[in-house]
């Protein structure tokens, strides 16, 4: 359903190089993958990919997802077609991509589903159709599975943690702008890693780059964009990149909180092994390892004789106190 990309989360998409770690088996995810893979246009093909008989495959997926596999696939493909047409893809190309033999047949199915012809589709018309299971197309390589609404979100706590993380990262980048580049590039701890799949982080600059890049990676997964590069190892450029990423990250968190979406799952349709991620878990993951890296930056700067008093200890209590001081 899109361009595969490697992600720094312990597994590899679509055979690209990287480190793969063991994850628990998710049979429903495997069945969904089989139903929605590009090449599986029939029930027999879906079932074969899932190593099941058509009867067992249909019964199991219908039970788990509340929707027969052929109907689920047709709906998600129509959602993708609507998104593609809104982005400028021709109706003919969208019809072929959705598996229809004729444009007329596609147009009729599209009009029945959306209430308007494909030619009337714009960004404003949206691409989601009613679903009994919350499984929807999410551009460009993901499905999106909505969780139940109405659960408490604890938005004040989330907002405090996320804003502190962004502000503290910006403060560290401002501090190191005046530090000798040799200190920032110095491999103080050769072989040091924070997460195995992210590679070595042996210098202060390594830690800061990873702090910014991790948010870019997860935003790419959530937004369905391509895998980002780590970028230039220059403090000024990194600070500029952080400003842009921080704005997107805060906006994503705000939208999620407004929708009560913390229990929603982003499901990667091209992931090997199949795996889904709870949105709240993604944010918690980012906050956990960002805090770890930021504290390490302080420790390594101290080891180099750098005064870190201007940025404090990285304590949210101190940050809140400074914000409330007139």
pLDDT digits (tens, 9 = 90+) for 34-78: 777 666 777 888 878 777 888 888 888 787 778 888 888 888 889
pLDDT (0 to 100) of residue 18: 30
Place of tokens 């939208």: 255
pLDDT above 90 (res 106): yes
Per-residue pLDDT band for 176 (boundaries 50, 70, 90) equals: very high
Q: What percent of the chain has pLDDT over 90?
A: 40
Cβ proximity of 46 and 34 under 8 Å: yes
DSSP 3-state assignment of 148? coil
pLDDT surpasses 50 at 169: yes
The CATH 1.10.10.60 domain(s) of the chain lie at 24-128
Q: What is the pLDDT of residue 149?
A: 42
2/307: higher pLDDT: 307
Q: Percent of the chain, pLDDT > 70? A: 80
The residue-averaged pLDDT of 287-298 equals 97
| Residue of higher predicted confidence among 235 and 273 | 235
Structure-model confidence comparison of residues 286 and 151, the more confident one:
286
> Which pLDDT belongs to residue 3?
28
CA distance 62 to 71: 10
Please tell me the predicted confidence (pLDDT) of residue 263: 83
- pLDDT score at 139: 62
- Residues 6 or more apart in contact with residue 61 via CB below 8 angstroms: 28, 31, 32, 35, 67, 68, 69, 72
DSSP label at 301? H
Q: Per DSSP, which regions of the chain are E strands?
A: 12-13, 135-138, 142-145, 265-268, 271-272, 276-278
Q: How would residue 20 be classed by pLDDT, with cut points 50, 70 and 90?
A: very low
Question: Which region among 49-63, 77-91, 138-152 has the lowest average model confidence (pLDDT)?
Answer: 138-152
Question: Nearest to residue 118, comparing CAs of 98, 141, 144?
Answer: 98
CATH 1.20.120.450 domain span(s) along the chain: 155-324
Query: Which residues lie closer than 8 Å to 111 by C-beta, 6 or more apart?
Result: 117, 118
Average of per-residue pLDDT across 158-186: 93
Per-residue pLDDT averaged across 9-14, rounded?
32
Q: What is the pLDDT of residue 325?
A: 59
Of the given ranges (43-47, 291-295, 322-326), which has the lowest mean pLDDT?
322-326
Asked whether 16 and 3 are in contact (CB, 8 A), the reply is no
pLDDT recorded at residue 299: 96
State how far the Cα of 41 lies from the Cα of 35, in Å rounded to an integer: 8
pLDDT value of position 62: 80
Q: What is the mean pLDDT of the chain?
A: 80
Pick the CATH number of 24-128 from 1.10.10.60, 1.10.1760.20, 1.10.760.10, 1.20.1290.10: 1.10.10.60
Tell which CATH architecture fits domain 155-324: Up-down Bundle (1.20)
Give the model's confidence band at 285: pLDDT under 50 very low, under 70 low, under 90 confident, else very high: very high
Residue 42: the pLDDT is 78
Residue 171 has pLDDT above 90, yes or no: yes
pLDDT at 143 over 80: no
Does position 9 have pLDDT exceeding 70, yes or no?
A: no
Confidence of residue 315 (pLDDT cuts 50, 70, 90): very high
């Amino acid at each position: 359903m899109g361009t595969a990309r490697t992600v720094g989360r312990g597994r590899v998409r679509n055979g690209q190089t990287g480190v793969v770690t063991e994850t628990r088996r998710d049979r429903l995810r495997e069945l969904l993958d089989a139903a929605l893979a590009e090449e599986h246009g029939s029930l027999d093909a879906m079932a074969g990919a899932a190593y099941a008989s058509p009867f067992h495959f249909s019964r199991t997926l219908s039970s788990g997802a509340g929707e027969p596999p052929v109907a689920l696939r047709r709906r998600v493909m129509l959602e993708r077609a609507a998104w593609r047409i809104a982005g400028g893809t021709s109706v003919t190309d969208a019809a072929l991509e959705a598996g229809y033999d004729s444009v007329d047949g596609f147009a009729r199915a599209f009009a029945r589903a959306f209430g308007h012809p494909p030619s009337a589709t714009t960004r404003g018309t949206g691409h989601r159709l009613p679903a009994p299971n919350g499984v929807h197309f999410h551009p460009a390589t993901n499905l999106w599975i909505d969780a139940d609404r109405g659960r408490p979100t604890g938005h004040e706590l989330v907002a405090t943690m996320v804003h502190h993380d962004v502000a503290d990262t910006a403060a560290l980048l401002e501090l190191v702008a005046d530090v000798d580049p040799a200190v920032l590039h110095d491999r103080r701890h050769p072989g040091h890693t924070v997460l195995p799949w992210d590679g070595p982080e042996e210098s202060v600059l390594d830690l800061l780059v990873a702090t910014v890049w991790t948010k870019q990676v997860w935003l790419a997964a959530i937004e369905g964009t391509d895998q980002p590069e780590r970028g230039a190892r220059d403090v000024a450029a990194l600070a500029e990149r952080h400003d842009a990423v921080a704005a997107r990250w805060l906006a994503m968190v705000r939208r999620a909180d407004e929708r009560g979406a913390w229990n929603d799952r982003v499901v990667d349709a091209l992931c090997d092994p199949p795996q889904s991620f709870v949105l709240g878990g993604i944010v918690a993951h980012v906050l956990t390892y960002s805090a770890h890296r930021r504290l390490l930056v302080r420790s390594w700067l101290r080891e180099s004789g750098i005064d870190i008093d201007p940025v404090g200890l990285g304590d949210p209590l101190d940050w809140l106190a400074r914000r409330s001081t007139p």
